[in-house]
Chain A
Amino acid sequence: MSDRGFSLLEAIVATAIVTSGLMALAQLTILATRANAASRAVSTATMLAVDKMEQLRAYAWTVDVAGLPVSDAALQSSPSGTLDADVDGFFDRLPGWTRRWSVTPLPSNAETLVLQVRVVGRRGEESRLTTARTRRAN
Protein backbone atom coordinates (compact mmCIF):
# COMPACT_ATOMS: atom_id res chain seq x y z
CA MET A 1 0.00 0.00 0.00
CA SER A 2 1.17 3.43 -0.80
CA ASP A 3 1.02 5.78 2.16
CA ARG A 4 1.68 8.86 0.11
CA GLY A 5 -1.95 10.13 0.15
CA PHE A 6 -3.73 11.28 -3.05
CA SER A 7 -1.97 12.58 -6.07
CA LEU A 8 -3.16 15.88 -7.53
CA LEU A 9 -4.55 13.99 -10.51
CA GLU A 10 -6.66 11.76 -8.26
CA ALA A 11 -7.97 14.77 -6.40
CA ILE A 12 -8.93 16.50 -9.64
CA VAL A 13 -10.69 13.41 -10.95
CA ALA A 14 -12.59 13.06 -7.69
CA THR A 15 -13.56 16.74 -7.83
CA ALA A 16 -14.77 16.33 -11.39
CA ILE A 17 -16.99 13.40 -10.37
CA VAL A 18 -18.46 15.29 -7.42
CA THR A 19 -19.05 18.34 -9.63
CA SER A 20 -20.84 16.37 -12.32
CA GLY A 21 -23.05 14.84 -9.65
CA LEU A 22 -23.87 18.27 -8.28
CA MET A 23 -24.57 19.59 -11.76
CA ALA A 24 -27.08 16.77 -12.27
CA LEU A 25 -28.78 17.77 -9.02
CA ALA A 26 -28.86 21.41 -10.08
CA GLN A 27 -30.39 20.29 -13.35
CA LEU A 28 -33.25 18.76 -11.35
CA THR A 29 -34.26 22.10 -9.89
CA ILE A 30 -34.16 23.65 -13.35
CA LEU A 31 -36.38 20.83 -14.58
CA ALA A 32 -38.80 21.35 -11.71
CA THR A 33 -38.95 25.07 -12.42
CA ARG A 34 -39.59 24.40 -16.09
CA ALA A 35 -42.28 21.83 -15.36
CA ASN A 36 -43.95 24.35 -13.05
CA ALA A 37 -43.81 27.06 -15.69
CA ALA A 38 -45.17 24.67 -18.34
CA SER A 39 -48.10 23.64 -16.16
CA ARG A 40 -48.84 27.29 -15.44
CA ALA A 41 -48.78 28.01 -19.19
CA VAL A 42 -51.22 25.19 -19.90
CA SER A 43 -53.50 26.36 -17.07
CA THR A 44 -53.45 29.88 -18.47
CA ALA A 45 -54.10 28.63 -22.01
CA THR A 46 -57.04 26.55 -20.81
CA MET A 47 -58.47 29.44 -18.84
CA LEU A 48 -58.23 31.70 -21.89
CA ALA A 49 -59.88 29.02 -24.03
CA VAL A 50 -62.71 28.62 -21.49
CA ASP A 51 -63.14 32.39 -21.42
CA LYS A 52 -63.50 32.52 -25.23
CA MET A 53 -65.86 29.56 -25.16
CA GLU A 54 -68.07 31.38 -22.64
CA GLN A 55 -68.06 34.45 -24.89
CA LEU A 56 -69.20 32.30 -27.81
CA ARG A 57 -71.90 30.85 -25.57
CA ALA A 58 -73.12 34.36 -24.78
CA TYR A 59 -74.05 35.10 -28.41
CA ALA A 60 -77.72 34.56 -29.16
CA TRP A 61 -78.39 31.17 -30.71
CA THR A 62 -82.01 30.59 -29.87
CA VAL A 63 -85.59 30.88 -31.07
CA ASP A 64 -87.98 33.78 -30.60
CA VAL A 65 -91.55 33.61 -29.30
CA ALA A 66 -92.84 32.69 -32.75
CA GLY A 67 -90.39 29.78 -32.85
CA LEU A 68 -88.22 31.42 -35.51
CA PRO A 69 -84.46 31.02 -35.19
CA VAL A 70 -82.46 33.92 -33.75
CA SER A 71 -78.76 33.78 -34.58
CA ASP A 72 -76.10 36.30 -33.66
CA ALA A 73 -73.90 37.33 -36.59
CA ALA A 74 -70.84 36.28 -34.58
CA LEU A 75 -71.99 32.67 -34.80
CA GLN A 76 -72.00 32.44 -38.59
CA SER A 77 -70.16 29.42 -39.92
CA SER A 78 -66.39 29.96 -40.05
CA PRO A 79 -64.26 29.21 -43.12
CA SER A 80 -62.00 26.18 -42.89
CA GLY A 81 -58.64 26.47 -41.20
CA THR A 82 -59.49 29.19 -38.68
CA LEU A 83 -57.85 27.13 -35.93
CA ASP A 84 -54.50 26.94 -37.70
CA ALA A 85 -54.16 30.43 -39.17
CA ASP A 86 -55.31 33.91 -38.20
CA VAL A 87 -58.55 34.59 -40.06
CA ASP A 88 -60.29 37.93 -39.51
CA GLY A 89 -63.16 37.63 -37.08
CA PHE A 90 -61.97 34.30 -35.74
CA PHE A 91 -58.88 35.20 -33.74
CA ASP A 92 -57.70 37.64 -31.14
CA ARG A 93 -54.35 38.38 -29.55
CA LEU A 94 -53.67 38.65 -25.85
CA PRO A 95 -50.25 39.40 -24.34
CA GLY A 96 -48.23 36.27 -25.14
CA TRP A 97 -51.13 34.32 -26.58
CA THR A 98 -53.12 33.89 -29.77
CA ARG A 99 -56.70 32.66 -29.56
CA ARG A 100 -58.37 31.17 -32.61
CA TRP A 101 -61.81 29.66 -32.84
CA SER A 102 -64.15 28.03 -35.29
CA VAL A 103 -67.92 27.71 -35.58
CA THR A 104 -69.13 24.76 -37.61
CA PRO A 105 -72.72 23.55 -37.92
CA LEU A 106 -73.08 19.78 -37.61
CA PRO A 107 -73.31 18.29 -41.14
CA SER A 108 -76.39 16.31 -40.13
CA ASN A 109 -78.09 19.13 -38.19
CA ALA A 110 -77.33 22.77 -38.94
CA GLU A 111 -79.16 23.84 -35.76
CA THR A 112 -76.35 22.39 -33.66
CA LEU A 113 -73.04 24.24 -33.68
CA VAL A 114 -69.67 22.72 -32.95
CA LEU A 115 -67.54 25.39 -31.26
CA GLN A 116 -63.79 24.93 -31.07
CA VAL A 117 -61.21 27.17 -29.44
CA ARG A 118 -57.46 26.81 -29.73
CA VAL A 119 -55.06 28.91 -27.70
CA VAL A 120 -51.38 28.95 -28.71
CA GLY A 121 -48.57 30.52 -26.70
CA ARG A 122 -45.26 31.94 -27.87
CA ARG A 123 -43.37 28.78 -27.05
CA GLY A 124 -45.93 26.47 -28.61
CA GLU A 125 -47.92 25.77 -25.43
CA GLU A 126 -51.48 25.13 -26.42
CA SER A 127 -54.93 24.24 -25.26
CA ARG A 128 -57.87 23.18 -27.36
CA LEU A 129 -61.53 22.95 -26.35
CA THR A 130 -64.55 21.68 -28.23
CA THR A 131 -68.21 21.95 -27.33
CA ALA A 132 -71.60 21.72 -29.01
CA ARG A 133 -74.36 24.30 -28.76
CA THR A 134 -77.98 23.65 -29.64
CA ARG A 135 -80.67 26.22 -30.37
CA ARG A 136 -82.41 25.46 -27.11
CA ALA A 137 -80.91 23.63 -24.22
CA ASN A 138 -84.26 22.25 -23.10
Chain B
Amino acid sequence: MSTFAALGQLGRQLGGSRVVVITTSALVVIALIAIVGPLFSPYTYLDSNLDVRLLPPTMDATRYFGTDDLGRDLFVRTLMGVRITLAVAIVATLVSLVIGVVYGAIAGYAGGKVDAVMMRLVDTLYALPFIFFVILLMVFFERNFLLIFVAIGAVNWLDMARIVRGQTLSLKEREFVEAARLIGVSPTRIIFRHITPNLMSVVVVYVTLTVPQAILIESFMSFLGLGIQEPQTSLGSLVNNGVRHTEGAPWMLFIPASILAFILMCFNFLGDGLRDQLDPKERSG
Protein backbone atom coordinates (compact mmCIF):
# COMPACT_ATOMS: atom_id res chain seq x y z
CA MET B 1 0.00 0.00 0.00
CA SER B 2 1.09 3.56 -0.44
CA THR B 3 2.64 5.70 2.24
CA PHE B 4 -0.52 7.75 2.60
CA ALA B 5 -2.74 4.76 3.06
CA ALA B 6 -0.36 3.47 5.69
CA LEU B 7 -0.58 6.77 7.50
CA GLY B 8 -4.33 6.65 7.35
CA GLN B 9 -4.43 3.23 8.88
CA LEU B 10 -2.02 4.47 11.51
CA GLY B 11 -4.28 7.34 12.36
CA ARG B 12 -7.22 5.06 12.92
CA GLN B 13 -5.18 2.78 15.10
CA LEU B 14 -3.93 5.65 17.20
CA GLY B 15 -7.36 7.14 17.68
CA GLY B 16 -8.00 4.40 20.16
CA SER B 17 -5.43 5.56 22.65
CA ARG B 18 -6.57 8.13 25.20
CA VAL B 19 -3.11 9.50 25.76
CA VAL B 20 -2.50 10.04 22.09
CA VAL B 21 -5.79 11.78 21.58
CA ILE B 22 -5.46 14.08 24.58
CA THR B 23 -1.90 15.16 23.94
CA THR B 24 -2.45 15.65 20.23
CA SER B 25 -5.54 17.73 20.91
CA ALA B 26 -3.67 19.79 23.47
CA LEU B 27 -0.91 20.53 21.00
CA VAL B 28 -3.35 21.40 18.27
CA VAL B 29 -5.23 23.72 20.61
CA ILE B 30 -2.01 25.45 21.61
CA ALA B 31 -1.01 25.85 18.00
CA LEU B 32 -4.40 27.30 17.14
CA ILE B 33 -4.31 29.75 20.01
CA ALA B 34 -0.85 30.78 18.95
CA ILE B 35 -2.08 31.53 15.46
CA VAL B 36 -5.38 33.15 16.30
CA GLY B 37 -4.65 34.66 19.68
CA PRO B 38 -2.86 37.83 18.54
CA LEU B 39 -6.08 38.95 16.93
CA PHE B 40 -7.48 39.49 20.40
CA SER B 41 -4.79 41.92 21.34
CA PRO B 42 -4.34 45.46 20.07
CA TYR B 43 -0.56 45.17 20.28
CA THR B 44 2.02 43.73 17.94
CA TYR B 45 5.20 42.00 18.87
CA LEU B 46 7.15 45.05 17.80
CA ASP B 47 5.43 47.82 19.75
CA SER B 48 7.96 49.02 22.24
CA ASN B 49 6.54 51.48 24.74
CA LEU B 50 9.16 52.53 27.23
CA ASP B 51 6.55 54.02 29.54
CA VAL B 52 4.95 50.67 30.38
CA ARG B 53 8.01 48.52 30.96
CA LEU B 54 7.88 45.51 33.24
CA LEU B 55 4.17 45.43 33.90
CA PRO B 56 2.88 42.34 35.66
CA PRO B 57 0.05 40.39 34.01
CA THR B 58 -3.24 42.20 34.30
CA MET B 59 -6.69 42.13 32.79
CA ASP B 60 -7.00 45.86 32.15
CA ALA B 61 -5.51 47.35 29.03
CA THR B 62 -5.49 43.76 27.79
CA ARG B 63 -1.93 43.18 28.97
CA TYR B 64 -2.76 39.57 29.74
CA PHE B 65 0.81 38.48 30.23
CA GLY B 66 2.26 41.83 31.18
CA THR B 67 5.12 43.58 29.41
CA ASP B 68 8.82 42.99 29.14
CA ASP B 69 11.79 45.24 29.81
CA LEU B 70 11.28 47.14 26.59
CA GLY B 71 7.59 47.67 27.14
CA ARG B 72 6.53 45.10 24.59
CA ASP B 73 3.38 43.09 25.14
CA LEU B 74 4.19 39.61 26.42
CA PHE B 75 0.91 37.97 25.42
CA VAL B 76 1.53 38.62 21.76
CA ARG B 77 5.24 37.84 22.03
CA THR B 78 4.65 34.59 23.87
CA LEU B 79 2.22 33.46 21.21
CA MET B 80 4.78 34.34 18.60
CA GLY B 81 7.29 32.37 20.60
CA VAL B 82 5.02 29.35 20.49
CA ARG B 83 4.55 29.69 16.75
CA ILE B 84 8.22 29.99 16.03
CA THR B 85 9.30 27.28 18.44
CA LEU B 86 6.79 24.83 17.02
CA ALA B 87 7.66 25.81 13.48
CA VAL B 88 11.38 25.41 14.05
CA ALA B 89 10.91 22.08 15.78
CA ILE B 90 8.55 20.66 13.18
CA VAL B 91 10.48 21.84 10.17
CA ALA B 92 13.82 20.78 11.64
CA THR B 93 12.37 17.39 12.47
CA LEU B 94 10.97 17.07 8.97
CA VAL B 95 14.36 17.89 7.53
CA SER B 96 16.07 15.27 9.65
CA LEU B 97 13.23 12.91 8.92
CA VAL B 98 13.53 13.16 5.17
CA ILE B 99 17.30 12.97 5.14
CA GLY B 100 17.39 10.20 7.72
CA VAL B 101 14.71 8.03 6.16
CA VAL B 102 16.06 8.27 2.65
CA TYR B 103 19.62 7.74 3.76
CA GLY B 104 18.81 4.88 6.12
CA ALA B 105 16.47 3.13 3.69
CA ILE B 106 19.01 3.25 0.90
CA ALA B 107 21.79 2.02 3.16
CA GLY B 108 19.68 -0.75 4.62
CA TYR B 109 18.31 -1.91 1.33
CA ALA B 110 21.57 -1.78 -0.57
CA GLY B 111 23.40 -3.68 2.08
CA GLY B 112 26.95 -4.89 1.73
CA LYS B 113 29.67 -2.39 0.78
CA VAL B 114 27.36 0.54 0.15
CA ASP B 115 25.76 0.07 3.52
CA ALA B 116 29.16 -0.19 5.21
CA VAL B 117 30.42 3.04 3.64
CA MET B 118 27.26 4.95 4.34
CA MET B 119 27.18 3.87 7.96
CA ARG B 120 30.85 4.69 8.29
CA LEU B 121 30.00 8.25 7.32
CA VAL B 122 27.32 8.28 9.99
CA ASP B 123 29.81 7.08 12.55
CA THR B 124 32.23 9.81 11.53
CA LEU B 125 29.62 12.49 11.91
CA TYR B 126 28.60 11.02 15.23
CA ALA B 127 32.09 11.51 16.58
CA LEU B 128 32.02 15.19 15.70
CA PRO B 129 30.86 16.99 18.80
CA PHE B 130 27.36 17.81 17.66
CA ILE B 131 26.91 20.86 19.77
CA PHE B 132 30.27 22.12 18.73
CA PHE B 133 29.19 21.72 15.15
CA VAL B 134 26.11 23.78 15.75
CA ILE B 135 28.06 26.48 17.53
CA LEU B 136 30.65 26.62 14.80
CA LEU B 137 28.01 26.83 12.11
CA MET B 138 26.03 29.52 13.78
CA VAL B 139 28.96 31.53 15.02
CA PHE B 140 30.51 31.68 11.63
CA PHE B 141 27.73 32.31 9.22
CA GLU B 142 25.33 35.23 9.02
CA ARG B 143 22.40 34.80 11.34
CA ASN B 144 19.82 33.26 9.16
CA PHE B 145 16.54 31.86 10.35
CA LEU B 146 16.73 29.12 7.74
CA LEU B 147 20.12 28.10 8.99
CA ILE B 148 18.66 27.25 12.35
CA PHE B 149 16.41 24.60 10.81
CA VAL B 150 19.20 23.28 8.70
CA ALA B 151 21.60 23.14 11.62
CA ILE B 152 19.19 21.27 13.84
CA GLY B 153 17.98 18.99 11.12
CA ALA B 154 21.43 18.28 9.77
CA VAL B 155 22.56 17.15 13.15
CA ASN B 156 19.59 15.06 14.12
CA TRP B 157 19.23 12.89 11.07
CA LEU B 158 21.92 10.54 12.23
CA ASP B 159 19.78 8.71 14.79
CA MET B 160 16.90 8.52 12.35
CA ALA B 161 19.16 7.07 9.67
CA ARG B 162 20.46 4.41 12.02
CA ILE B 163 17.03 3.31 13.11
CA VAL B 164 15.62 3.31 9.61
CA ARG B 165 18.55 1.32 8.34
CA GLY B 166 18.02 -1.27 11.06
CA GLN B 167 14.36 -1.55 10.23
CA THR B 168 15.04 -1.74 6.53
CA LEU B 169 17.52 -4.53 7.05
CA SER B 170 14.90 -6.66 8.73
CA LEU B 171 12.12 -5.64 6.35
CA LYS B 172 14.30 -6.54 3.41
CA GLU B 173 13.99 -10.20 4.26
CA ARG B 174 10.21 -10.20 4.33
CA GLU B 175 8.29 -12.11 1.75
CA PHE B 176 6.50 -9.29 0.06
CA VAL B 177 9.76 -7.55 -0.65
CA GLU B 178 11.21 -10.78 -2.01
CA ALA B 179 8.18 -11.15 -4.19
CA ALA B 180 8.49 -7.63 -5.54
CA ARG B 181 12.13 -8.18 -6.34
CA LEU B 182 11.37 -11.41 -8.17
CA ILE B 183 8.77 -9.69 -10.29
CA GLY B 184 11.44 -7.18 -11.27
CA VAL B 185 10.28 -4.04 -9.51
CA SER B 186 13.08 -1.45 -9.50
CA PRO B 187 14.89 -0.92 -6.21
CA THR B 188 13.76 2.70 -6.03
CA ARG B 189 10.18 1.64 -6.31
CA ILE B 190 10.62 -1.07 -3.75
CA ILE B 191 12.11 1.39 -1.33
CA PHE B 192 9.45 4.01 -1.73
CA ARG B 193 6.37 1.90 -2.26
CA HIS B 194 7.00 -1.08 -0.05
CA ILE B 195 9.58 -0.39 2.57
CA THR B 196 8.88 3.20 3.54
CA PRO B 197 5.21 2.65 4.42
CA ASN B 198 6.23 -0.09 6.81
CA LEU B 199 8.67 2.20 8.46
CA MET B 200 5.94 4.62 9.38
CA SER B 201 5.30 3.33 12.88
CA VAL B 202 8.94 3.46 13.86
CA VAL B 203 9.38 6.83 12.23
CA VAL B 204 6.32 8.37 13.82
CA VAL B 205 7.49 7.37 17.25
CA TYR B 206 10.90 8.75 16.56
CA VAL B 207 9.53 12.02 15.31
CA THR B 208 7.75 12.66 18.57
CA LEU B 209 11.03 12.15 20.33
CA THR B 210 12.98 14.36 17.96
CA VAL B 211 10.66 17.33 18.22
CA PRO B 212 11.33 17.99 21.92
CA GLN B 213 15.01 17.56 21.20
CA ALA B 214 14.83 20.15 18.46
CA ILE B 215 12.97 22.53 20.75
CA LEU B 216 15.62 22.18 23.42
CA ILE B 217 18.39 22.68 20.88
CA GLU B 218 16.80 25.89 19.68
CA SER B 219 16.52 27.09 23.28
CA PHE B 220 20.12 26.18 23.87
CA MET B 221 21.17 28.19 20.83
CA SER B 222 19.19 31.14 22.13
CA PHE B 223 21.05 30.74 25.38
CA LEU B 224 24.29 31.16 23.47
CA GLY B 225 22.85 34.14 21.64
CA LEU B 226 22.71 32.21 18.39
CA GLY B 227 19.02 31.44 18.01
CA ILE B 228 16.17 33.36 16.48
CA GLN B 229 17.05 37.00 16.05
CA GLU B 230 15.29 39.97 17.51
CA PRO B 231 12.76 41.39 17.21
CA GLN B 232 11.35 37.95 16.46
CA THR B 233 11.36 35.59 19.37
CA SER B 234 10.94 31.95 20.35
CA LEU B 235 9.98 30.32 23.61
CA GLY B 236 13.63 29.54 24.25
CA SER B 237 14.57 33.15 23.63
CA LEU B 238 11.79 34.40 25.92
CA VAL B 239 12.82 32.00 28.64
CA ASN B 240 16.44 33.05 28.40
CA ASN B 241 15.47 36.67 28.64
CA GLY B 242 13.15 35.89 31.52
CA VAL B 243 15.83 34.15 33.56
CA ARG B 244 17.70 37.42 33.92
CA HIS B 245 14.58 39.08 35.28
CA THR B 246 13.62 36.33 37.72
CA GLU B 247 13.70 38.60 40.70
CA GLY B 248 12.45 41.80 39.18
CA ALA B 249 9.77 40.47 36.85
CA PRO B 250 9.19 36.75 37.46
CA TRP B 251 6.29 36.48 35.02
CA MET B 252 8.78 37.05 32.21
CA LEU B 253 10.27 33.69 33.07
CA PHE B 254 7.44 31.60 34.41
CA ILE B 255 4.87 32.13 31.71
CA PRO B 256 6.98 31.09 28.72
CA ALA B 257 8.80 28.45 30.78
CA SER B 258 5.55 26.80 31.81
CA ILE B 259 4.26 26.81 28.28
CA LEU B 260 7.54 25.39 27.03
CA ALA B 261 7.50 22.66 29.66
CA PHE B 262 3.89 21.85 28.85
CA ILE B 263 4.57 21.51 25.15
CA LEU B 264 7.58 19.31 25.83
CA MET B 265 5.55 17.14 28.16
CA CYS B 266 2.82 16.76 25.61
CA PHE B 267 5.28 15.57 23.01
CA ASN B 268 6.92 13.19 25.46
CA PHE B 269 3.62 11.71 26.61
CA LEU B 270 2.56 11.51 22.98
CA GLY B 271 5.72 9.60 22.17
CA ASP B 272 5.09 7.21 25.01
CA GLY B 273 1.50 6.70 23.98
CA LEU B 274 2.44 6.09 20.36
CA ARG B 275 5.00 3.55 21.33
CA ASP B 276 2.46 1.71 23.44
CA GLN B 277 0.06 1.60 20.54
CA LEU B 278 2.37 0.80 17.70
CA ASP B 279 5.15 -1.27 19.09
CA PRO B 280 3.91 -3.65 21.76
CA LYS B 281 7.44 -4.90 22.26
CA GLU B 282 8.60 -1.45 23.23
CA ARG B 283 5.81 -0.75 25.61
CA SER B 284 6.68 1.87 28.13
CA GLY B 285 4.30 0.28 30.59
A interacts with B: no
Enumerate chain B interface residues (CB-CB to A < 8 A).
none
Enumerate chain A interface residues (CB-CB to B < 8 A).
none
